[in-house]
């Protein structure tokens, strides 16, 4: 096993990983950075984000308004010190991106353009047409190339963290093209590995989003936090799950049921207003959890449209006109034509809610630190408690930037204070265990289980039991199924026994990660006997601040179900109130 020594190892080279690496290199060019990614950086999932990034820039907006939208949107499960830091730093990071060359869309007077986004009561989302994540990722990647201290390890699959002397000291990863294992020894490790939406069958997430970093931290003793909060995006393209950005609704697109009726006015989103008005009532600009739940209710009433790929409603943008759509939503038009055979200029697009984002993740504080010294986490794999029970669209891209820089600052400080030598023998012993585990997995024979079969059962169970609406019965059934699947995982057999790009092996390792995390989702949801944000229970319909105004922590217990505990929510100035979206979005 080859040894690579570095100062800071970063797992994941998407928006969070690149921003972290740049911040380290800018402030401390003498520190070596190993940027480890299972895909080429420009294939990271940040590239798929379409709508934009939130930050206060206009004179009619304020930091307090952004704070209130985020806290209320998260149903008061956000840590308010984290939110306050975030809204203050957001404009600085977005301006920094502009200085690095991000081509934000402009107003006619040349100033940065902003568009409305769901759950935000005022326009504050910076955008680059409908390819915002693409341009942000390109900007960060190009900027990172300036720094020789950043060494990239593309297409390296991270398998496990290395722990010694009570702190994280590295990671074991496999080079995909050769099958060789590498021990990355580091003074600090930052996980930026993305979410785990592929646990569900219908998702906007790319195939790489399997929760690898979250599962590694979980096995290393770091609790996951708030994993029961899984966000459904209300406008996934039917059949494929491809995201149609919230920008569609920000630009004036509307949702209609089978009768052509704008049904959101029946679910506390405000009265219908004439199309084309410059200021619309909340309606389609309500938060994602509420819009997805409204679809479920329309489905129960028989108001959805049956199709071979399941029930749908319509996203109608025909009134916007071809010129406006081609200027502001060119990718959406292309995706709709290519994957649904529908031109949004001429007819409504069939859509349905689709799993989009994990509000939960690795337990971190405002400094991006985990409870394990030397281990930090940023982005969707982490839970600093910015998003609470429901993330507002366009906060996540900015979160990558704000907390990527924050993690870099604190990881550098930690690394510079490490004077003691690493425990080489203990680290090598752990690395050898990883090597043995991989070898045994590849060489196993006579297994009766298939990776595809177990994965299919997992995704179906989560969708049926821990979907948009949940009950004690459905959740308990899902908990039982996932526990059984984790036991049956020991019976899988790989068909590919080779070393070079063994995708069979990678999918097996990803499945192990997803099964562990799926259990935290189901068990956390079962224990939370209330409805809050994206976690909605038909048997406990009310929000219960007295019992559950707290974060769920899930602790790894080997083959057993996780131990569930709780952690206080930080409240500074906004007391829990009613989430009201019946007013206007300016």
**Four-point Cα dihedral 468, 474, 475, 479, nearest 10:** -130
Q: How far is the C-alpha of 509 from the C-alpha of 512, rounded, in Å?
A: 5
Active-site amino acid positions? 233, 249
Report how far residue 382's alpha carbon sits from residue 385's, in angstroms, rounded to the nearest whole number. 9
**Cα angle value 44/383/294 (rounded, 5°):** 85
Secondary structure element (H or E) that encloses residue 397, with its range? helix 395-416
CA distances to 162, 436, 499 from 432, rounded to whole Å, are: 11, 6, 17
Q: 448 phi and psi, to 5 degrees?
A: -100, -5
**% helix / strand / coil in the chain, to the nearest 5?**
40, 20, 40
**Cα distance between residue 26 and residue 330, in whole Å:** 35
Three-state SS string across 410-434, please?
Answer: HHHHHHHCCCCCCCHHHHHHHHHHH
Residues 6+ apart with CB under 8 A from 334: none
Are residues 336 and 345 in contact, defined by beta-carbon separation less than 8 angstroms? Answer: no
Report d(CA 420, CA 167) in Å as an integer: 12
Report the 10 Å Cβ neighbour count for 241: 22
Pick from 451, 464, 565: nearest CA to 522: 464
Choose among 22, 17, 2, 16: nearest CA to 185: 2
């Amino acid at each position: 096993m080859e040894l690579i020594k570095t100062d800071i190892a970063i797992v994941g080279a998407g928006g969070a990983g690149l921003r972290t690496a740049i911040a380290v290199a800018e402030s401390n060019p003498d520190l070596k950075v190993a940027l480890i990614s299972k895909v080429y950086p420009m294939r990271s999932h940040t590239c798929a984000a379409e709508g934009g990034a939130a930050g206060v820039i206009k004179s009619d907006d304020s930091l307090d308004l952004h704070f209130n939208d985020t806290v209320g949107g998260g149903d008061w499960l956000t840590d308010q010190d984290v939110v306050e830091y975030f809204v203050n730093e957001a404009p600085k990071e977005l301006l920094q991106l502009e200085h690095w060359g991000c081509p934000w869309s402009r107003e006619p007077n040349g100033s940065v353009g902003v568009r409305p986004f769901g759950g935000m009561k005022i326009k504050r989302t910076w955008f680059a047409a409908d390819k915002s994540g693409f341009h942000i990722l390109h900007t960060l990647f190009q900027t990172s190339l300036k720094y020789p201290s950043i060494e990239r390890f593309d297409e390296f699959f991270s398998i496990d963290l290395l722990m010694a002397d009570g702190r994280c000291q590295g990671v074991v990863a496999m080079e995909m093209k050769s099958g060789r294992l590498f021990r990355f020894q580091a003074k600090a490790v930052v996980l930026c590995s993305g979410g785990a939406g592929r646990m569900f069958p219908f998702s906007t997430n790319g195939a790489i989003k399997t929760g690898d970093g979250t599962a590694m931290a979980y096995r290393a003793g770091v609790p996951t936090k708030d994993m029961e909060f899984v966000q459904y995006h209300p406008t996934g393209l039917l059949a494929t799950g491809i995201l149609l950005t919230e920008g569609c609704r920000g630009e004036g697109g509307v949702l209609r049921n089978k009768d052509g009726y704008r049904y959101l006015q029946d679910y506390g989103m405000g009265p219908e207003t004439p199309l084309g008005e410059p200021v619309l009532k909340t309606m389609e600009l309500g938060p994602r959890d509420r819009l997805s739940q409204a679809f479920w209710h329309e489905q129960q009433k028989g108001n959805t449209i049956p199709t071979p790929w399941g029930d749908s409603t319509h996203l109608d943008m025909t009134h916007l006109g071809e010129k406006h759509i081609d200027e502001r939503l060119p990718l959406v038009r292309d995706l709709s034509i290519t994957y649904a055979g529908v031109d949004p200029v001429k007819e409504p697009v069939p859509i349905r809610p689709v799993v989009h984002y994990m509000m939960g993740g690795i337990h971190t504080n405002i400094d991006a630190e985990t409870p394990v010294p030397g281990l930090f986490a940023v982005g969707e794999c982490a839970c600093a408690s910015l998003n609470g029970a429901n993330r507002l669209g366009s906060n996540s891209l900015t979160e990558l930037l704000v907390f990527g820089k924050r993690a870099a600052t604190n990881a550098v400080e930690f690394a510079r204070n490490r004077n003691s030598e690493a425990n080489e023998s203990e680290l090598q012993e752990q690395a050898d265990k990883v090597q043995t585990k991989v070898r045994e997995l590849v060489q196993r024979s006579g297994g009766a289980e298939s990776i595809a079969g177990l994965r299919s059962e997992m995704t179906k169970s989560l969708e049926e039991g821990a979907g948009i609406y949940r009950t004690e019965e459905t959740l308990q059934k899902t908990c039982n199924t996932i526990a059984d699947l984790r036991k049956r995982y020991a019976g899988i057999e790989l068909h590919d026994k080779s070393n070079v790009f063994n995708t069979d092996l990678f999918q097996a390792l990803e499945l192990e990660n997803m099964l562990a995390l799926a259990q935290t989702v189901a068990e956390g949801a079962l224990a939370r006997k209330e409805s809050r944000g994206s976690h909605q229970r038909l048997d406990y319909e009310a929000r219960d601040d007295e019992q559950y105004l707290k974060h769920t922590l899930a602790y790894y217990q080997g083959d057993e179900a996780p131990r569930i505990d709780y952690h206080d929510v930080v409240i500074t100035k906004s007391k829990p109130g009613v989430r009201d979206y019946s007013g206007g979005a300016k």
